[in-house]
Structure 1
Amino acid sequence: MMEFKSKYRSRPWRKFPLFSEETLQELRKDILNYTPVNENVPAANILLIGQIGAGKSSVLNSLNSIYRGKITSRALCGSFEHSLTTTFRKYNVKDNNSGRTLKLRLCDTRGLEEEFAADVQEMSYILDGNVPDRYQFNPTSPFNTKTPGFIPSPKFEDKIHCVAFILDGSTIDVMPEKILTQIKAIQNVTNLKNIPQVVYVTKMDKVCSDVQMDPTIMFHSEAVCEAVNKTSNVMGIPRGHIYPIINYESETTLDANFDILLLQALKQTASFADDFIDDVIGSFKSTITLALFYLLKFILFFKVESPLTKNNEIEM
C-alpha cells in the first residue's frame, strides 16, 4: 500500500471491508447465494441509468467478468456520440464455477443524451415492468400502451426493485444541465413509486490517479471523498448510498480489488432492493387482510340485520 501523503487520510473516511482474497471470496459467495427476501420474487431487478460514456454497460460487463473468471464484453460499451445501448435488456449473470445464475438481475437502458432527452413516461413503464426484455428503443417514438409487446398487467417480479444511477465522478460538478434535468425527472418518478436509489461513481482514476494502481486507498483519498460529497449534493441521495467503483475498461486480466469494490456495492444494492420488496409485499398483505376484515364485518352485519333473519327469529 502506498505511503499516505497530505491528500490522503490516515484513517478511511468510510468503513469498508479489508481488501483481501478472503473478502473477495466472501463477497462472491454472498452475491451468488443471494435470494430475494420474498420467495415469490425469483430475482431482484436493478435498473442501470446513466449518461452515455459514464460506464453504465461496463458495470454489467465487470460483474459478468467476475463470475466468468475472465474479462468479458457482453454489453456494448465505449465512448461514442450516441448511446450504444439501443435495446432494453434484463441480463442474467451465471457463475462459471457452479453453473448457477445470480438472483440479482441487471437491467440496461439507453444512455442519457443531450440531443435525445429520455421520455419520463417511457421510464415509468420500465419501472412498472410494462416494457418487455429486448425492446428496441426509438428516441423519436417513445414506448406507450400501443407499442407491440406492451405488458398490460406485469407481475411484481417484472418490476424494478432498485435504481442504480451510474455517474462519471470526474465530471459530476460540470454535468450538462440537460442531463441533470433528465436525471431529476427520472428521480421524481422513481420517488413517487418509492423505489430505492443508489449511485455508482465511476472513472475514479480521473478523480484520483493513484487508485487505478492501488484501489485499496480509495477510502483514504480526499479527492474521492469530495467526489462522493458532490454526488450526494447533486443527486440529493445520502452518502451511504453512493459507491465509488472501478470498471474494467483497458484491463485484460481481473483485479481482486476492483471486484471487491463492485461486489460490495452490489451487496448493498441487493439489500435496498430487499427492503423495497418486503415493504411492497407487506403492504399488499396488509391491504388484503384489511379488505377481508371489512368483508367479514359486512357479512356478519348483513346476517344480523337481514329481515329474513329477523322473521325467522320471530317465527321461532
Structure 2
Amino acid sequence: MRGHLLGFVSGAAVSVVALGASALLSPLRLPPHDMAQEVAARPAQAEAAPAADVAEVGAAPDAALRPDLPQRAADAPATLDAATPMPSAPPVQTAPLPQTAPAPVALPSLPQTSRPIEAYAAPTAPVIGRALAIVMIDDGMMVGGPQAVAALPMPVTIAIDPSRADATDKMNAYRAMGIEVVALLRLEGAGPTAVFAAQHALPQAVAVMDVDSAEIGTGAANALREAGLGLISMGEGTEDLQHAQITAQLPSSASSPIVLAREISGLAASDQDAVFLTRLRPVVIAALRAGTLPTGFVPVSALLRH
C-alpha cells in the first residue's frame, strides 16, 4: 500500500514538472474562440489609433510649455535647407541705348512781344557805322513784287496803302517772303480812328509812313504809341515816338538802272543813317541788283528801334 502511494506521488510530480517545462518552451495558447476575437480586434485598434507624423523620443513635454504647432504640414511656413540650390533668376535684358540723340522737335516761332514794331520786324545783322534803309511803295503797277523784292541782295521795306481792297493780301504775300511792311497813311488832321483803321487792315505793319505831312497831331501820335507802331515821315517826328526821317527820294522813272545805281551810291556816301523812298518799278529792282552798291542796308525797323 505504501509502495503504491509513493509511486502515485512520484508520477504526479513528474507530470507537474513536465507540464511546467512544456509551458516554458511553448507560447501561451488561447482557445480558438478567444484567438479569433483578438485577431479581429487588432485592425480595429490600428484604425482607431491616429498615425503619428513624427516619432517622439522620451517623455512628452508639458502642454503648458509646448508651443502651438500647425495642425498640418501645409500650414507650416516653407523653409529652405542650406544645401538646397537656389533657382537661378532669368537674365536681365536691357535695350541698347541709341548712339545718337534724337533730333529736337522744331517748335513754331512766336513773337517775343506784342508790339508790332518788334514782333513783325524783319531780322537783320548789326551794322557797324551808318545804316541805309530803302522803303518802296507798292502801288500795284508792277506784277510779281514779292518775288522780285525777295530776290534782292539787301533788305527792303514795302509800303502799302491800307485803303486798297487788296491791302491785306499784299501784306500776306510780302510777309510770307520775310519782308516787312509799313502802312502808307496821311496823318495831317487824322485822329486815332485813322491809325487804328490802318492797323486793322495791315495788322503786321511795323510803322506808319506819311510822305505829305510835316507834322502830326497829338491824337495820331498817341494812337501810334498805343498801337505799338513807329513813324516814318519827312519831318523830325515827335518826342517819345520811334521815328525815322526820309532823307532822299529815288526816282522811279530813271532812264537806266546803271544811272540809278550810281545815284544811290552817291547818296550813301554820307556817314549818317539814311532812309531812301522809292516806288516798286523794274528799273529800281534792276538798279538795286547791281553789284556796285555800298553795304550797310537794313530794314527800316532797325532805324526805328535805333
TM range (shorter): under 0.3
Flag the structure with higher helix content. 1
TM-score (norm 2): 0.28
Bigger RCO of structures 1 and 2 (CA < 8 A, at least 6 apart): 1
Q: Which has the larger radius of gyration?
A: 2
